[in-house]
């Protein structure tokens, strides 16, 4: 069984301070999500944020911005185009689109270049690739607008591949549960006092959203043995956090390799398992985002058995 776990991601920040996009309501966001060939499964809210759990990943909506991630063969570029058509291009202060290279890119309905052509018909911007073309890499697009991000506008991404060991066995097993996965990942310790909303897919696969004030985290697990993938994204400032979230998750899930992407977030490998850094790069955008990307590989992660073809 194969499922493309790596996400596509959009973020849009609104220029008009009088426009509260949370007021658009769930029916509106359901239509936006449908444009990406996904659907809303459930939601939680607080005074600052609405968090929607999707059939393929997550959507977070604040008064002046939203972040949406979708996996599988979703068409996320169509969703962002629908949103811009609704609010008007002049209402956009900043927009970004991010997409990782896929395991089986030929199964996708579009490539990043296809998506880029579609987006650029409406809104101008710069595009980049970070990472080696023949290895793990990410494509990014950001608008060219007179917008400067606040220093506190932080995003952290940890993307883990080929998980191994007892945690991986549990996540592929028949006796897993939502609470069991939360306990396995020590989420109450890593993200204390967050309200959470999660979903356990059949026969396996797991998604969780968490919010506290204007902070969020989301974790998505695709545990298939030959293409396993686990992602964490959060705007929690890791430099001020009492628990080393990355080190703890790497210890629990034991991935063979992983990417770390930080937006206005300094690199920190303290507590990582013994590893090689196979590549890293930094990018300072015109909008004030300092992006750091690194791809790591664990030393002698597992012994591989030849397969008959």
Low-confidence residues in the chain, pLDDT < 50: none
Tokens of 300: 């002698």
Cis before 203? omega within 30: yes
pLDDT at res. 263: 95
Q: Name which of 223, 1, 259 is nearest 135 in CA terms.
A: 259
Q: What residues contact 180, with CB distance under 8 A and at least 6 apart? A: 170
The predicted pLDDT at position 307 comes to: 76
Total residue count of the chain as it appears in this document: 309
135 token code pair: 């290895």
Cα–chain-centroid distance for residue 183? 21
Distance CA 89, CA 81 (A): 10
- Predicted pLDDT of residue 2: 64
Average pLDDT value over all residues in the chain:
92
> Would you say the pTM of this structure is higher than 0.85?
yes
The pLDDT assigned to 13 comes to 96
| CB-CB neighbours of 206 under 10 Å | 23
The burial of 142, by beta-carbon neighbours within 10 Å (0-12 exposed, 13-18 middle, 19 or more buried), is given as buried
Q: What is the pLDDT of residue 103?
A: 67
| Structure-token match 């993307």, residue found | 159
Domains in the chain, please, with CATH?
A: 8-298 (3.60.90.10)
């Amino acid at each position: 069984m194969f499922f493309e776990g790596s996400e596509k991601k959009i973020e849009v920040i609104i220029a008009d301070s009088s426009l509260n996009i949370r007021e658009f309501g769930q029916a509106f966001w359901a239509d936006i999500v449908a444009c990406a060939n996904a659907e809303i499964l459930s939601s939680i809210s607080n005074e600052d944020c609405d968090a929607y759990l999707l059939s393929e990943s997550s959507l977070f909506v604040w008064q002046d911005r939203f972040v949406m991630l979708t996996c599988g063969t979703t068409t996320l570029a169509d969703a962002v185009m629908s949103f811009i058509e609704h609010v008007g291009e002049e209402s956009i202060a900043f927009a970004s689109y991010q997409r990782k290279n896929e395991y089986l890119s030929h199964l996708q309905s579009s490539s990043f270049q296809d998506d880029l052509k579609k987006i650029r018909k409406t809104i101008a911007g710069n595009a980049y690739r970070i990472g080696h073309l023949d290895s793990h890499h990410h494509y990014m697009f950001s608008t060219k607008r007179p917008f400067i991000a606040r220093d506190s506008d932080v995003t952290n991404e940890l993307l883990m591949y080929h998980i191994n060991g007892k945690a991986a066995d549990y996540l592929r097993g028949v006796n897993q549960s939502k609470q069991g996965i939360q306990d396995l990942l020590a989420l109450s310790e890593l993200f204390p006092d967050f309200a959470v909303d999660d979903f356990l897919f059949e026969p396996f696969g797991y998604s969780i959203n968490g919010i506290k004030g204007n902070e969020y985290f989301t974790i998505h697990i695709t545990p298939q043995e030959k293409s396993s993938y686990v992602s964490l994204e959060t705007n929690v400032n890791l430099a001020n956090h009492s628990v080393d979230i990355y080190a703890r998750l790497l210890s629990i899930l034991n991935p063979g390799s992983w990417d770390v992407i930080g937006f206005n977030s300094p690199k920190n490998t303290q507590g990582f398992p013994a590893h090689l850094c196979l590549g890293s790069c930094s990018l300072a955008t015109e909008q004030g985002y300092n992006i750091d990307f690194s791809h790591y590989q664990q030393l002698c992660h597992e012994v591989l058995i030849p397969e008959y073809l």
